[in-house]
Amino acid sequence: MKALFDDVSAKCSKLTTRAYSTSFSLGIYFLNERLRKPIYGIYGFVRFADEIVDSFNEFDRKYLLEKFKADTYEAIEKKISLNPILNSFQEVVNTYKIDHDLIETFLRSMEMDLKKIEYSRENYDQYILGSAEVVGLMCLHVFTEGNKQQFEELKPYSMKLGAAFQKINFLRDLKADFETLGRSYFPNIELTSFNTKAKLEVEQEIENDFKEALIGIKKLPASSKGGVYLAYVYYISLFKKIKGVPAEKVMNKRIRVSNSEKFALMLNSMVQYKMNML
């Protein structure tokens, strides 16, 4: 009967993804059906960890994250957890042999969010590695389905894509991160005087990351290329919107892509993929 519990767990991860992210839900829909469940499992795990450090201010977040971490490793070792999100995640880790160092690196970045940190270039890069790049590598383990040579070839491109996504998130959430959570991730940038020069520097990094990432997207297996490309297109669209907004407005307004725009992007991406334009 554990199969029934595993199915319920997978549905919890899917529900979590759909509740928190329309864009990633659309991207996952464009993956081959056999890949969707494990990617939902990864997203549910990282989403819950992120919620602990971002949303539970009235609780002991340090304790909750430590318990979540301990429960995660126990679930992976025992191959079961009564937490359905962790039960779903452990199945992905054990099935696709995801390196535990990736999980540890991710959780270290979550721990960084529990502290007030003035980010240098070094710990900025460390945070992006843990919060985004290694998550992309977890997904890459699923996309390459045990092909180690293919994983190693695509690894640097996957990391660039994760970095680009995260830096765009930083720009999009600049106001909320600074005013609500008291965070400022960009190194050597004073957000109280965030200006055009600082914004352009970040945007140039993102453009370079995207340029490298697209090379890897084109090399992905057909089973995952369409879904990853859709996520790429969505973030490119969001990035273009942010680029068109003055620095002072980025600090005062959260830039977003509407659901109608997302569906239009989805249709356009589907046409490009079907016509083998990637």
Q: Which residue has the tokens 């199969």?
A: 3
CB-CB contact of 238 with 168 (8 Å): yes
Is pLDDT above 90 for 271?
A: no
Q: Which residue has the tokens 């539970």?
A: 56
Is pLDDT above 60 for 277?
A: no
Is pLDDT above 70 for 273?
A: no
- CATH of span 2-274: 1.10.600.10
The mean of the pLDDT values for the chain is 89
| Model pLDDT, residue 265 | 64
| Model pLDDT, residue 42 | 98
CB-CB contact of 119 with 184 (8 Å): yes
pTM greater than 0.85 (yes/no): yes
Closest CA to 260 of 242, 240, 234, 239: 234
Q: Which runs of consecutive H residues, i.e. helices, occur in the chain?
A: 2-20, 22-29, 33-55, 61-78, 84-96, 100-112, 121-128, 134-144, 148-172, 174-179, 196-219, 222-243, 247-250, 259-274
pLDDT tens, position by position, 33-48: 999 999 999 999 999 9
| Model pLDDT, residue 188 | 73
Indicate the domain borders of the chain.
2-274
CB-CB contact of 90 with 18 (8 Å): no
pLDDT tens, position by position, 126-181: 999 999 999 999 999 999 999 999 999 999 999 999 999 999 998 888 777 766 77
The alpha-carbon radius of gyration of the chain (Å, integer) is 18
Q: How far is CA 170 from the centre of its chain?
A: 12
Judged by DSSP in three states, 112 sits in helix
